[in-house]
Chain A
Amino acid sequence: MLLCTVPLSLGFGLMNGSLPLTPIEVWYALLGNNEDTATEVLWQLRLPRVLAAFVCGGLLALSGALLQALLRNPLADPYILGISGGAAVGALAAMLLGAGLATTQLSSFTGALLAIVAVFGLGFRHGERNIYRLLLTGVVLSAGCGALISLLLILAQGEQVKGMLFWLMGDLSYSQGLPFAWFVLLAVGLCATMLSGGLDVLAGGLDKAAVLGVAVGRWQAGLYFAAAVLTVTALQLGGSIGFVGLMIPHAIRLLGVSAHRWLIPSSTLLGGSFLVLADTLARMVWSPLQLPVGIFTALLGVPVLLWLLSRRS
């Protein structure tokens, strides 16, 4: 069933937008035999956008699944460890100074990197790996970044504020580095699926994992960096898109999939499909005006998750 969501969401994303296309038109445009408007729109605009949304959703959902295993906390999401806060401060500061897209991207990457180093340095100090200190450090850093973001928003003027809000709510209009993002998603997804048995064991408790042969400290550090790389890559693609990393792994679990060897690929595929759907709606609803995709991830995700929760109970 999950496999069906991938072609359906991709098809939906390719067909809809300012210029609606039928499935037949999409098919011929994909084959690229004609040099008409449909082919140009599909290859130049829609396909890159849909692929960016899919990979970004996959990155966020996979990051959420890994962080929930690392922190053994169902409320963990890709932004809990302050990475997005650091990236947002970097991006918004660059925007405030009137920087271009490339500088903004670099600045957000630097902010995320500083946050990663700070959280890891303080959370895993002296080789003593305390997961609660890591979590608390991330939450405290996020709060600090939240204050700085508010300050930057207050200092910004007119059109700058709009750009900043789009970044904060997620926007896939200016996605760059798509091949690298696909490489990260495939490499981390494959490794995580291969090591999924260890994730199952780790979820059962740290002492339990140690007595079952998991080198806990190394696994924790590896999971943290894998999740950080996934999150930073997603942030570079689409800004701070919320809800996907938290909701998708939970939705998969509520559908009865719990073993990580299924949870990891299922979350990745469903996360990708879900963000394609949300992004397509963000492009369609007030077309030609495009809304931040983060609005639709929450609007679509909240009722679905609540329905799954009530069905489960």
Chain B
Amino acid sequence: MQAFLEARKLTVAIGGKLICRELDMMIRPGECWGVLGQNGVGKTTFLRTLAGLHTPQAGMVSWNGVALAAHARRSLAQNIGVLLQNEGGEFWGSVQEYVLLGRFPHRTALFGCNVQDEALVPQALAQMELEGLAHQPYNTLSGGERQRAAIAQALAQQAQCYLLDEPLQHLDLRHQAQTMQVFSQLKEQGCALMVVLHDTLWVQRCCDHVLLLFADGHALHGAAHELLTRAHLEALYQCPLRELFVEGERWFVAGV
């Protein structure tokens, strides 16, 4: 099967810090990848490299077999949805208008939006339980609500591949579960996902592949059930872990 995203001999570094060296990997339709690593190891930079926002030191990233740099930004945005950890901007409009921005790459109308674009917004809002906040000013939302709005915006983008940087940050337990369920549905529909997570339980439940980024710049990737072991995770987080089994699920608990 043709890979959506492919990294070839990819070396990524930022500020002199090596994140990965000569990494080869492919993300295919219907796959969900979890990215794990310590704080500051470079997960966000790695994801930004796959999104074409950070230039790799060596090697290349391609979309559908063609180098990212050869694609127009608009064409990439029609296919790759990116949830940023920190957007670094302000938005003065309503939640509904914010989510509608997700349709920007698909716009064909000279002024404003198509009716079809606007029709997709309620659906995205409903998926993230934001219908009641549709007309509320975006800048009055709480951190968790903003995070759900950002995910709704990415959903409205209707991409084939999603790169999601810590989508569960600020979310309460119910919305964490609901969000991961939405991602599982996307995967079943044939979308490819790469999700930066800190909770190994969600990685085990939802991801079929993992990428482990170690502090010394080496990376491991492969099937989740093979790599999510106590030994690998202890080496990854550089701390002792306990492995607990609760109702058939494996939990890793740190420090005791």
A interface residues with partner B (beta carbon < 8 Å): 72, 193-194, 196-198, 200-201, 203-208, 210-216, 253, 258-259, 261
Q: Roughly how many angstroms separate A103 CA and B102 CA in the complex, as a whole number?
A: 51
- Taken together as a complex, chains A and B put the C-alpha atoms of A261 and B111 apart, in Å, by 7
Contacts of B73 in A (CB 8 A): 210, 213-216
At the interface, yes or no: B89 with Cβ under 8 Å from chain A? yes
Residues of B within 8 A of A (CB): 48, 51-53, 72-78, 80-82, 84, 87-93, 97-98, 101-102, 104-105, 107, 110-113, 157
Which of B72, B76, B89 interacts with A204 by CB under 8 Å?
Answer: B89
Asked if A203 meets B89 with Cβ closer than 8 Å, knowing A211-B53, A213-B73, the reply is yes
Decide if A259 touches B93 in the complex (CB within 8 Å): yes
**CB pair A198 B89 closer than 8 Å:** no
Identify the closest chain B residue to A211 (Cβ): B82
Q: Which of A206, A213, A215 has the most CB of B within 10 A?
A: A213
Verify B89–A211 contact, CB threshold 8 A. Answer: no
CA distance A196 to B82 in the complex (A): 22
Give Cα A196 to B107, complex, Å: 12
CB-nearest residue of chain B to A200? B101
Known contacts A200-B101, A208-B88, A261-B111; A213 and B76 CB within 8 A of each other: yes
Q: Nearest chain A CB to B46's CB is how many angstroms away?
A: 15
Chain A residues near B87: list those with CB within 8 A: 204-205, 207-208
A253 to B104: give the CA distance in the assembly, Å: 22
- Nearest Cβ on chain A to B90's Cβ, whole angstroms: 7
Chain A neighbourhood of B92, CB < 8 A = 203, 253, 258
Q: Which of A193, A203, A214 contacts B91 (CB 8 A)?
A: A203
User: Which residue from A72, A193, A194, A197 sits with its C-beta under 8 Å from B104?
Assistant: A197
Chain B residues near A201: list those with CB within 8 A: 101, 104
Q: Give chain A residues whose Cβ lies under 8 Å from the Cβ of B107.
A: 197
Closest to B137 in A: A258
Let me know if B110 and A200 touch, CB within 8 A.
no
- Top 9 nearest A-B pairs (CB, nearest first) are A205-B89, A213-B77, A258-B92, A213-B105, A213-B74, A211-B82, A204-B89, A205-B88, A258-B93
A–B Cβ pairs within 8 angstroms, 12 of them? A193-B111, A197-B101, A197-B113, A204-B91, A205-B87, A207-B87, A210-B52, A210-B53, A211-B77, A212-B104, A213-B77, A213-B78
The residues of B that contact A196 with a CB separation of less than 8 Å are 111
Whole-angstrom distance between the alpha carbons of A210 and B76 in the complex?
10
* Inter-chain contact A207/B110, CB cutoff 8 Å: no
- The residue in chain B whose Cβ has the minimal distance to the Cβ of A195 is B110
Smallest beta-carbon distance B98→chain A, Å? 8
A74 and chain B: residue at smallest CB distance: B90
CB distance from B206 to the nearest CB of A (A): 22
Query: Do B101 and A204 touch across chains, with their CB atoms under 8 A apart?
Result: yes
- In the bound complex, how far is the Cα of B78 from the Cα of A23, in angstroms? 56
